[in-house]
């Protein structure tokens, strides 16, 4: 139904288009310039990362590397801290996404049920947290008090539930015909089983959307590492990157005598940026498809 609305929009545009006028030309060029402005910075970093450090610091590398070198990548990939950060980020992203989608969808299912007693109470308890929060310091004190400080679980547990995602999911659950549930009830299934074995498989697109949403958030976040951990073994990719970029005088294990002129802190940080961006680039086609759908679910039904 949503697709047909989209398509009729396009069909209409084609029908109403009488001729390609000056506005179209300016519009097409403007959007192309915008796309260029968006993409060029990434290109700039990419060529910088493949440049020879000493030569690069002279300036003027804007289109293509003058002297090629992959030394910066060697330095990054040889750094044990990078691999620890990558491992933590991958584990954290997967674990947090699975648990968060599971937990949030369970609550969302309950919130979408008409047979939930004291519903206004539940709604208010949830909504209130969207508008008012305790703030950074009290939150930190709670994290320390419940023993999450400096443990790996600090990445997972505090983000296992999100009110916003719950609202999106429960509006999706509401759109599933009640008759499906009734037949299961007749067969003697409880609500927990109905959620797990019927609603979860039925709402794969919505769950995938939320999952990608959560996953990108975890991949890109560094705040938890910075505030709630001290152990170097708990570092994450974005935090490692930030340290690399902000503190130019970090020492690297991988800089050997032969390549010391081929790298600068700048080119090393560029290489790290590229390496950290590749995973996002790989999932981007899926992201785009699901995200667009997810926003539609949220905005049309919410």
Partner 1 sequence: MTDFVEKTTRKRKKWTRNDKQVYFMAMCGVAFLCVFAYLPMVGTLLAFKEGDRAIDIYQVLLTGKWCGFDNFANLLTDRKLTDIVINTLGLNLLLLVFNFPAPIIFALLINEVTHLRYKKGIQTVSMFPHFISWTIFGAIIVALTDMTTGIFNPILEAIGLCSQENPINLGEAQYFWVEMIIASIVKGVGWGSIVYMAAIAGISPELYEAAQIDGANRFQRAVKITIPMIAPTITVFLLLQISKLLGNSYEQFYSMQNAINLERSEVLATYIYRKGFTQRRYSYAAALGLCESIISVLLLLFSNILSKKFTGRGVF
Asked if 139 interacts with partner 1 (CB under 8 A), we say: yes
Residue 250 binds partner 1 (CB under 8 A): no
160 belongs to the binding site for partner 1 (CB under 8 A): yes
Alpha carbons 210 and 205: distance in angstroms, whole number = 9
Smallest gap from residue 224 Cβ to partner 1 (A): 10
Give the nearer residue to partner 1 in terms of CB position, either 228 or 234.
Answer: 228
Round to whole Å and give the CA distance between 227 and 164: 24
Select 234 or 267, whichever has its Cβ closest to partner 1: 267
Give which of 170, 161, 159 is closest to 302, Cα–Cα: 170
- The one-character DSSP state at 202 is H
Mark the segment that binds partner 1 (CB under 8 A) among 70-78, 172-180, 250-258, 274-282.
Answer: 274-282
Nearer to partner 1, 32 or 256 (CB): 32
φ/ψ of 254, rounded to 5, equals -85, -5
Span interacting with partner 1, options 73-81, 91-99, 157-165, 171-179, rule CB under 8 A: 157-165
**Under a CB-based contact definition with an 8 Å cutoff, are residues 156 and 99 in contact?**
yes
Q: d(Cα 245, Cα 26) in Å, to the nearest integer? A: 39
Structure tokens at 188: 């003697």
Decide: helix, strand or coil at residue 4.
helix
33 binds partner 1 (CB under 8 A): no
Of residues 125 and 256, the one with the C-beta less far from partner 1: 125
Size of the site for partner 1 (CB under 8 A): 103
Show the CA angle centred on residue 290, arms to residues 15 and 239, nearest 5°.
130
When the beta carbons of 232 and 300 are compared against partner 1, the nearer one is 300
98-137: contacts with partner 1 (CB under 8 A): 103, 106-107, 109-111, 113, 115-118, 122, 125-126, 129, 131-137
Query: Is 151 near partner 1 (CB under 8 A)?
Result: no
Cα separation, 53 vs 105, whole angstroms: 49
Q: Which stretch binds partner 1 (CB under 8 A): 43-51, 75-83, 91-99, 249-257?
A: 43-51
Which single residue is written with the structure tokens 């989209």?
A: 6
Spatial CB neighbours of 26, under 8 Å, sequence gap ≥ 6: none
* Residue 146 contacts partner 1 per CB under 8 A: yes
- Residues in region 56-75 near partner 1 by CB under 8 A: 56-62
Spatial separation of the C-alpha atoms in residues 270 and 245, rounded to whole Å: 9
User: Given candidates 180, 232, 288, 301, which one binds partner 1 under the rule CB under 8 A?
Assistant: 288
**What's the helix, strand, coil split of the chain in %, to 5?**
75, 0, 25
Torsion, Cα of 237, 241, 244, 246 (10° steps): -130
* Nearest to partner 1 of 5, 256 (CB atom): 5
State which residue, 107 or 234, has the beta carbon closest to partner 1. Answer: 107
Q: With binding defined as CB under 8 A, does residue 6 bind partner 1?
A: yes
DSSP state, residue 203: T
Task: Indicate whether 37 belongs to the interface with partner 1 (CB under 8 A).
Answer: yes
**Positions in 177-236 near partner 1 (CB under 8 A):** 185, 190-192, 195, 216, 219-223, 227
Which residue, among 85, 48, 68, 224, has the nearest Cα to 151 in the 3D structure? Answer: 224
Q: Which of 238, 263, 271, 290 binds partner 1 (CB under 8 A)?
A: 238
Pair of tokens at residue 214: 């959560």
Find the shortest distance in angstroms from Cβ 203 to partner 1. Answer: 15
């Amino acid at each position: 139904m949503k697709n047909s609305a989209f398509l009729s929009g396009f069909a209409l545009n084609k029908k109403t288009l009488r001729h390609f006028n000056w506005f179209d030309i300016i519009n097409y060029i403007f959007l192309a310039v915008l796309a260029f402005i968006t993409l060029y910075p990434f290109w700039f970093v990419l060529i910088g990362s493949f440049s020879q450090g000493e030569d690069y610091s002279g300036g003027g590398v804007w289109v293509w590397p003058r002297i090629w070198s992959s030394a910066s990548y060697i330095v990054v990939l040889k750094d044990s801290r990078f691999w620890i950060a990558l491992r933590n980020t991958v584990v954290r992203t997967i674990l947090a996404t699975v648990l968060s989608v599971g937990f949030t969808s369970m609550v969302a299912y309950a919130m979408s049920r008409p047979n939930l007693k004291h519903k206004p109470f539940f709604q208010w308890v949830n909504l209130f947290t969207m508008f008012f929060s305790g703030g950074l310091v009290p939150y930190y004190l709670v994290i320390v008090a419940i023993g999450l400080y400096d443990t790996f679980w600090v990445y997972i547990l505090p983000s296992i539930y999100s009110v916003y995602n719950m609202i999106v999911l429960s509006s999706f659950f509401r759109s599933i015909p009640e008759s499906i549930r009734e037949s299961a009830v007749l067969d003697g299934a409880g609500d927990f089983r109905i959620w797990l074995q019927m609603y979860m498989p039925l709402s794969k697109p919505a769950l995938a959307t939320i999952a990608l949403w959560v996953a990108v958030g975890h991949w890109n976040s560094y705040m938890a590492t910075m505030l709630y951990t001290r152990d170097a073994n708990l570092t994450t990719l974005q935090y490692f990157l930030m340290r690399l970029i902000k503190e130019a005088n970090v020492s690297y294990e991988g800089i050997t005598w032969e390549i010391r002129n081929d790298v600068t802190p700048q080119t090393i940080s560029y290489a790290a940026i590229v390496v950290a961006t590749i995973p996002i680039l790989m999932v981007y086609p899926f992201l785009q498809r699901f995200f667009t759908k997810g926003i539609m679910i949220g905005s049309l039904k919410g």
